[in-house]
Amino acid sequence: MSNPDWLERAALRAQSATWTLAHTFERYRQLEARTEAELARELGCTREALHWLCLCRKPEGPDFDTQVIAITERHEVDLRTLVDVIRHVEIVGALTRDTGVAEHPLQMAARDRVPGEKTNS
């Protein structure tokens, strides 16, 4: 099935909504000086798949793992990279807030684990 002609424009427009993955991807691209094509390549998907990803809600909260897995299963993107991108933007965002101090840095670090990955404990 072909992609709709509004997809790219919608992905671009979604960047203004902070709860979207589009916003997260845009921040990541700014921070890491990546083009859209480069980001798609890192995630292991096409640009069209990246545009669909942009319309997703950014995974967060206690269901983070479930949400990330659902996204990667539907769009066949690299799970590790997706988690890294989200975490990177979250951490940089927390560190650069006006207060200069991350709100919950320890909690974020504790969640910084790839879903399904076994821990030593």
Partner 1 sequence: MRFPSQAEEQALHERVLKKNESLASEDVFRVFMDPIIGVLRSNPGRTKDEAHDAACDVLLEYLEHPERYQAHRSRLSTYLMRAAAMQALDMYRSQVARERREREFGGVIELRATAPNESLEIIVEARHLVGRLEQAMQEKDQAVLGLILQGERSTHALAKAMNLPPQSEKDLRREVKRNRDRLMKILGRFGKEE
Which parts of this chain interact with partner 1 (CB under 8 A)? 4-6, 9-10, 13-14, 16-17, 19-21, 52-53, 55-59, 61-63, 67-68, 70-71, 74
Q: Is 33 helix (H, G, I), strand (E, B) or coil?
A: coil
- Cα torsion 27, 31, 37, 40 to 10°: value is -70
Q: How far apart are CA 89 and CA 67, in angstroms?
A: 17
Residue number, 16 or 107, with CB nearest to partner 1:
16
Residue number, 57 or 95, with CB nearest to partner 1:
57
Of 33, 29, 80, which Cα lies nearest the Cα of 54? 29
Residue number, 37 or 70, with CB nearest to partner 1:
70
Shortest Cβ 114–partner 1 spacing (Å): 16
